């Protein structure tokens, strides 16, 4: 730990707290309204993901050309503007899309700045700290945000705006160096060139596919839970759903804390084991029908997921930092991951529109992740040869 990394952790904690508080505030808005259809929550999630996909060709280049501290500040202010639009009763789909645009800009800078703050040997550990603090923020943000939103939507949104602004100000304490001045010309053509260069490595292809699979599972499971919990566990409001999701977040914190001791960048092949376990636990969750069974299974899913995604993120940052720039690498990662999440959420939205049970979709998700993990494992880079 150093002062710069501490500042990043604090800024990220507040921003992630506000990100998840605003998500459950929007869920509370939908659940309190009798005019919005059941498909509205998946549609909100889709608008957020579309923002990531649309801005992917540019945000990585910005993160690598401009000082990442300034990018973090500007992105937080954009997210605050989205919360202000919600407070002014502007259409939630549009307001939440603006929050998504800010998040799309924020993510490459957040992860891309890590190689500038720590050396390669500490990169997995730094990622573990970022993931752990982020999940803690998610945990607190969704529970506290949902409770405040159930009490007062206006109070929740006002608090969220303040948190985004404080996070933006803390970002000013981070270094203001530019890592790659040649990547300023962000465009679809440059994005495609970066994509081809980055994916030329089997290790990079494996990491991108693995990360995309994790986030497809996470995003789809989250929207399934919103329909599954009231049906199976008789949850009645946003707070009860948030408290259930809390166990998933605690599991990811545990997995993120354990993984630096178990999986390093040199033996990244091991991530297939927690990925397979995660898929099995998701399938088993579909068979639960009591609150504590569901909580235990979500804890196990989160633990396996945390052990899966942390080494994947570290590998992508290391590869990107040595090739196209860490910010551009994270933007590519976000592009693929958000396309995967959009596909997953879109499939669930279609399934719910034709009255397929959330239990069936959850079981199908677990089976799908298991099959995909097996197929992606065939693309694993060869294990490094030991030299005598």
CA-nearest of 324, 326, 315 to 109 is 326
Q: Specify whether the CB–CB gap between 161 and 83 falls below 8 A.
A: yes
Q: Tell me the average pLDDT across 96-115.
A: 82
Q: Specify whether the CB–CB gap between 277 and 303 falls below 8 A.
A: no
Following CA atoms 299, 303, 304, 310 in sequence, which dihedral angle do they give, to the nearest 10 degrees?
150
Q: Specify whether the CB–CB gap between 44 and 26 falls below 8 A.
A: yes
CA-nearest of 252, 214, 232, 211 to 361 is 232
Q: Tell me the average pLDDT across 144-164.
A: 91
Residue 176 has pLDDT above 90, yes or no: no
Helix axes 358-377, 326-353, angle to 10 degrees: 140
Q: Specify whether the CB–CB gap between 69 and 174 falls below 8 A.
A: yes
- Distance in angstroms (rounded) separating the CA atoms of residues 325 and 156: 37
* Residue 326 dihedral angles phi and psi, to the nearest 5°: -65, -35
Contacts of 10 (CB under 8 A, 6+ apart): 170
- Distance in angstroms (rounded) separating the CA atoms of residues 306 and 247: 13
pLDDT score recorded for residue 77 = 94
Asked which of 21-30, 78-87, 96-105, 121-130 is least confident by mean pLDDT, the reply is: 121-130
Q: What 3-state class would DSSP assign to 234?
A: coil
Instruction: Give 98's pLDDT tier (boundaries 50, 70, 90).
Output: very high
Q: Specify whether the CB–CB gap between 299 and 251 falls below 8 A.
A: yes
What is the architecture, at CATH level 2, of domain 3-175+187-377? Up-down Bundle (1.20)
pLDDT score recorded for residue 280 = 94
* Tens digit of each residue's pLDDT (9 = 90 or more) over 190-212: 667 767 777 777 777 777 888 88
What are the Cα distances from residue 18, in Å, to 35, 165, 225, 269? 26, 10, 21, 34
Mean pLDDT value across the chain: 81
Q: Tell me the average pLDDT across 230-254.
A: 81
Q: Tell me the average pLDDT across 356-366.
A: 91
* Tens digit of each residue's pLDDT (9 = 90 or more) over 250-288: 888 888 788 777 776 666 777 888 889 999 999 999 999
- Distance in angstroms (rounded) separating the CA atoms of residues 344 and 366: 12
The whole-model pTM stands at 0.70
pLDDT score recorded for residue 167 = 92
pLDDT score recorded for residue 265 = 62
Distance of CA 18 to the CA centre of its chain: 14
pLDDT score recorded for residue 17 = 93
Q: Tell me the average pLDDT across 3-16.
A: 86
Q: Tell me the average pLDDT across 224-245.
A: 81
Instruction: Give 172's pLDDT tier (boundaries 50, 70, 90).
Output: confident
Percentage of the chain lying above the pLDDT 70 cut: 83
The tokens for 149 are 């939103």
* Tens digit of each residue's pLDDT (9 = 90 or more) over 292-316: 899 999 999 999 988 888 888 777 7
Instruction: Give 382's pLDDT tier (boundaries 50, 70, 90).
Output: low
Residue 379 has pLDDT above 70, yes or no: no
């Amino acid at each position: 730990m150093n002062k710069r990394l501490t500042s990043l952790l604090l800024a990220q904690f507040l921003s992630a707290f506000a990100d998840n508080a605003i998500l459950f505030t929007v869920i509370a808005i939908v659940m309190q309204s009798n005019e919005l259809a059941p498909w509205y929550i998946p549609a909100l999630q889709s608008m957020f993901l579309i923002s990531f996909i649309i801005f992917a060709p540019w945000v990585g280049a910005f993160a690598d050309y401009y000082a990442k501290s300034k990018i973090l500040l500007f992105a937080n202010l954009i997210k605050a503007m989205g919360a202000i639009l919600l407070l002014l009763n502007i259409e939630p789909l549009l307001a939440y899309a603006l929050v998504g645009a800010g998040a799309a800009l924020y993510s490459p800078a957040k992860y891309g700045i890590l190689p500038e703050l720590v050396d390669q040997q500490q990169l997995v550990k730094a990622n573990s700290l970022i993931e752990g603090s982020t999940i803690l923020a998610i945990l607190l943000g969704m529970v506290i945000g949902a409770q405040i939103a159930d009490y007062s939507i206006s109070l929740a949104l006002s608090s969220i705006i303040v948190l985004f602004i404080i996070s933006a100000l803390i970002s000013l304490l981070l270094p203001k160096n530019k890592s790659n001045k040649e990547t300023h010309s962000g465009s679809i053509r440059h994005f495609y060139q970066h994509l081809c260069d980055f994916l030329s490595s089997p290790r990079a292809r494996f990491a991108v596919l693995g990360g995309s699979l994790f986030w497809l599972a996470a995003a789809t499971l989250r929207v399934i839970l919103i329909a599954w919990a009231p049906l199976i566990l008789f949850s009645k409001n946003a707070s009860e759903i948030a408290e259930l999701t809390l166990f998933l977040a605690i599991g990811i914190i545990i997995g993120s804390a354990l993984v630096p001791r178990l999986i390093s960048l040199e033996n990244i092949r091991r991530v297939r084991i927690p990925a397979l376990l995660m898929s099995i636990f998701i399938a088993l969750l579909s068979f639960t029908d009591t609150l504590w069974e569901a909580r235990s299974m979500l804890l196990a899913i989160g633990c396996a997921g945390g052990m899966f995604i942390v080494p994947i993120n570290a590998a992508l940052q290391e590869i990107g930092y040595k090739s196209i720039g860490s910010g551009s690498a994270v933007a590519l990662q976000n592009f693929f991951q958000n396309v995967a999440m959009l596909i997953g959420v879109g499939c669930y939205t279609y399934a719910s529109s034709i009255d397929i049970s959330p239990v069936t979709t959850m079981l199908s998700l677990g089976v799908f992740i298991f099959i995909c993990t097996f197929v992606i494992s065939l693309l694993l880079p060869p294990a490094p040869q030991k030299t005598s």
